[in-house]
Amino acid sequence: MARKLDQILVIDVEATCWEGNPPLGQTSEIIEIGLCVLDVPTLARAEQRTILVRPVGSTVSAYCTQLTTLTQADVDGGMPLTEACQVLVHEYQAPARLWASYGDYDRKQFERNCGEFDIPYPFGPTHLNVKTLAVVVYGWSREVGMSEALKRMRLPLEGTHHRGGDDAWNVAAILSRVLRSGRSGCV
């Protein structure tokens, strides 16, 4: 499949989580996929989407609801991860596009869940770690969380932190700023 570099798919996932160890027999599963399409020629955020995912081997804890605002009833209305991955493949051509997230958590969570549930991985081989890229471009002494990066870049945190669609939107703003910085340094 030919690479398409006209858009970057910025992804943020939320997953089942607990304040301590997971209950016996449960494992962290993706429950929300946030997506923001970043248009490469303009570096504008072109689309924002949230896909709720119904977990099969875990439940949403009170801690998870407190963090994400998602409830078990919310995700019970979601689609299976297999279908959510097919949305990424068919509607966004994910295997052919560069995709990005803030750190490696999202990439690892997809790899883990796709492996655990025998689901074809929806993305191509190229993942862009926006957290590391920001450190390199701006010369920060260490990696920082998304909200701290927004503050350092004087960008607003839009929406609800720890909601996939809103976090993807904010990460895309960070990525856009970083790429603009890189373009302004070119001859």
Domains and CATH numbers, the chain: 4-184 (3.30.420.10)
pLDDT for residue 144:
97
pLDDT of residue 8: 98
pLDDT above 90: percentage of residues in the chain: 94
Question: What average pLDDT does the segment 112-140 reach?
Answer: 96
Is pLDDT at 185 greater than 70 in this prediction? no
Token look-up 């570099």 returns 5
Strands of 30-39's sheet, edge to edge?
44-52, 30-39, 4-15, 97-101, 127-129
Confidence of residue 40 (pLDDT cuts 50, 70, 90): very high
Residue range 18-30: mean pLDDT, rounded: 95
User: Largest alpha-carbon pair distance within the chain?
Assistant: 57
Instruction: Decide: 28 and 16 in contact? Cβ < 8 Å.
Output: yes
**What is the C-alpha to C-alpha distance for residues 72 and 90, in angstroms, rounded to an integer?**
27
